[in-house]
């Protein structure tokens, strides 16, 4: 006896067996019980969601009753698709106007042994426009013993005149969880053992189609093995190694560029295309994002229990904004590498950029300051070594020993060592120091930078107070400027941040302003002004 594929052997036979379309099954069952069935139905939905199975079950329920002697045999024939009174027509093969005319002429014949003569037209959107027009009158006022069930994957191609004569039911894609439960039951009946990761992955690969998932499972069972491991599934289906993908993601979250590049090269060496590899990495980060936001027990995570815990562990290592940036970066890069050119260079650059994403996001958080005096809250997860290093780097001024008598040269020396004030120390001249009031002037060399110097008066005053060991007031003689001169100080954390220091060293510049990008206003910022 020839082998029958799983999709046919385990096809639904009753309304209760239909998976994922319970509301439609309930409506059709109630319509039969209340004797309120229409003369034409339109079943719409993607492939493998149960349209034809539902049509056969509905036809069987309409044509069988307890007082029918051959009721069981008729029901089996309807489910097989070879009953005399339930005629299944392939719309792709019978799409012309002549076939429609033949159908109309046959519709006048009474059923042979059942109550109704039912026409199931699959892929009805393939019919030509003349064929549809020929069916209009018959579908609107068919004989009392005739019913039509139209099935299609593309309802937008069916004329509105046909749709208006039918009761339309839209079949939803089947959730992966329900597909997984059905696959588990089938494997139990077949006597096959499979890892939970295998069932979860096959359910996702089905993409909402039960028939697609069963076809993939058939491929795995064709090897004859009584147990299906995750590695065996990846080898048989040619899928990217999930172990390699998760290893790449772990290295990215650790900012280990070298390890991530090595693991990525191993993944590509297994025959995985670069765009597919980036898609898998994005999927892994998507699971991490959901586990972090919704928790590892969320129904949105279509993973095994072990994989859910791993996703939750990765989610604890990074924030949501960085994860969304990484997913968008993978999506953009996967589309670019398909175009050829320097695809491998772009792929490796993307992996390296993913490793740097967390550091760049943290640097951006430091630079993003709100207008006015709103406190800056920076959530930064780092090792104890990095924390101590940051704490040292944000010291506003060098260590100062308060002398008995303070001279301007001493204050000027400390200013020249203070981040953000180094270059302006040489532009300042002291005119007088009396009773805690220091009057300064700007020399000719610093005239071009007078706006910046006046804006830093508060910081200069702070340095003077620390050196003198008492509260000092600083007055700077120069041109009056707008509100910039009013206590527009730069946050010490901004001035000491790694990205600002790197930019200052690279361009030999000085921090001038910090611009709030969101508001477009100048508040606490920095524009490097370098020597030209």
Contact 55, 70 (CB under 8 A): no
Within a domain: 297: yes
CATH number at residue 75: 3.40.50.300
**Residue (of 147, 119, 123) closest to 45 by Cα position:** 123
Cα 513 from Cα 449, distance rounded (Å): 12
Let me know whether 121 and 231 are in one domain: no
What integer pLDDT is reported at residue 492 of this predicted model?
67
**pLDDT, tens digit, for every residue of 30-58?**
999 999 999 999 999 999 999 999 999 99
Cα 331 from Cα 157, distance rounded (Å): 32
Let me know whether 140 and 14 are in one domain: yes
> Stretch 501-523: mean pLDDT, rounded?
59
Within a domain: 368: no
Q: pTM surpassing 0.75?
A: no
Q: Which of 118, 143, 170 is the last residue of a domain?
A: 170
Let me know whether 78 and 199 are in one domain: no
Let me know whether 251 and 265 are in one domain: yes
Contact 50, 171 (CB under 8 A): yes
CATH number at residue 436: 3.30.300.180
Q: Which residue has the higher pLDDT, 149 or 500?
A: 149
**pLDDT, tens digit, for every residue of 324-359?**
999 999 999 998 888 877 788 999 999 999 998 866
Instruction: Name the domain count of the chain.
Output: 4
Within a domain: 390: no
Long-range contact set of residues 433-437: C-beta below 8 Å, sequence gap at least 24:
433/406, 433/408, 436/468, 436/470, 436/471, 436/472, 436/473, 437/472, 437/473, 437/475
Let me know whether 197 and 283 are in one domain: no
Tokens found for residue 320: 């949501």
Domain that residue 11 falls in: 6-170
What integer pLDDT is reported at residue 482 of this predicted model?
41
**pLDDT, tens digit, for every residue of 237-295?**
888 888 899 999 999 999 899 999 999 999 998 888 999 999 999 999 999 999 999 98
> Stretch 128-157: mean pLDDT, rounded?
92
Let me know whether 215 and 92 are in one domain: no
CATH number at residue 193: 1.10.8.60
Contact 149, 120 (CB under 8 A): yes
Name the DSSP class of 447: G
Let me know whether 183 and 227 are in one domain: yes
Contact 369, 523 (CB under 8 A): yes
What integer pLDDT is reported at residue 425 of this predicted model?
80
Q: Which of 363, 395, 417 is the last residue of a domain?
A: 363
Tokens found for residue 165: 């004569």
Tokens found for residue 133: 């027009």
CB atoms under 10 Å from CB of 378, counted, come to: 11
What integer pLDDT is reported at residue 478 of this predicted model?
60
């Amino acid at each position: 006896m020839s082998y029958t594929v799983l999709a046919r052997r385990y096809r639904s036979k009753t309304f209760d067996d239909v998976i994922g379309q319970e509301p439609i099954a309930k409506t059709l069952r109630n319509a039969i019980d209340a004797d309120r069935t229409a003369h034409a139905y339109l079943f719409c939905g993607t492939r493998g969601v149960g349209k034809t199975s539902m049509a056969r079950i509905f036809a069987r329920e309409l044509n069988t009753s307890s007082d029918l002697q051959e009721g069981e045999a008729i029901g089996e024939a309807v489910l097989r698709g070879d009953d005399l009174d339930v005629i299944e027509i392939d719309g792709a093969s019978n799409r012309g106007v002549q076939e429609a005319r033949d159908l109309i002429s046959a519709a006048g014949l009474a059923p042979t042994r059942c109550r109704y003569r039912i026409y199931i037209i699959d892929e009805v959107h393939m019919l030509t426009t003349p064929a549809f027009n020929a069916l209009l009158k018959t579908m609107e006022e068919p004989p009392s013993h005739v019913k039509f069930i139209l099935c299609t994957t593309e309802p937008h191609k069916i004329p509105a005149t046909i749709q208006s004569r039918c009761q339309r039911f839209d079949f939803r894609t089947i959730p992966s969880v329900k597909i997984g439960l059905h696959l588990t039951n089938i494997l139990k009946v077949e006597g096959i053992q499979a890892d939970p990761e295998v069932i979860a992955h096959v359910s996702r690969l089905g993409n909402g189609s039960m028939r697609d998932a069963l076809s993939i499972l058939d491929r795995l069972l064709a090897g004859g093995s009584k147990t299906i491991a995750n590695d065996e599934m990846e080898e048989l289906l040619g899928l990217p190694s999930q172990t390699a993908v998760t290893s790449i993601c772990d290295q990215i979250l650790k900012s280990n560029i070298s390890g991530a590049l090595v693991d990525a090269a191993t993944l590509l060496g297994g025959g995985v295309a670069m765009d597919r590899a980036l898609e898998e990495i994005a999927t892994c980060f998507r699971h991490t994002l959901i586990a972090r936001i919704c928790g590892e027990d969320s129904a949105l995570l279509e993973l095994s229990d072990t994989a859910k815990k791993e996703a939750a562990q990765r989610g604890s290592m990074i924030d949501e904004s960085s994860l969304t940036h990484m997913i968008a970066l993978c999506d953009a890069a996967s589309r670019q590498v398909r175009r050829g050119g320097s695809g491998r260079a772009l792929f490796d650059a993307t992996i390296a950029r993913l490793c740097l994403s967390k550091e760049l996001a943290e640097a951006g958080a430091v630079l993003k300051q709100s207008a006015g005096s709103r406190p800056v809250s920076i959530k930064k997860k780092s090792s104890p070594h990095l924390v101590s290093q940051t704490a040292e780097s944000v010291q506003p001024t060098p260590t100062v020993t308060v002398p008995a008598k303070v001279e301007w040269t001493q204050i000027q020396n400390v200013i020249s060592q203070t981040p953000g004030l180094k270059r302006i120390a040489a532009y300042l001249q002291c005119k007088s120091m009396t009773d805690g009031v220091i009057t300064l002037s700007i020399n000719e060399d610093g005239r071009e930078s007078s706006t910046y110097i006046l804006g830093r008066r508060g910081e200069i005053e702070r340095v003077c107070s620390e050196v003198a060991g008492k509260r000092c007031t600083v007055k700077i003689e120069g041109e009056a400027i707008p509100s910039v001169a009013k206590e527009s100080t730069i946050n010490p954390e901004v001035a000491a941040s790694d990205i600002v220091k790197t930019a200052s060293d690279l361009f030999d510049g000085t921090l001038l302003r910090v611009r709030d990008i969101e508001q477009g206003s100048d508040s606490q910022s920095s524009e490097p002004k370098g020597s030209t």
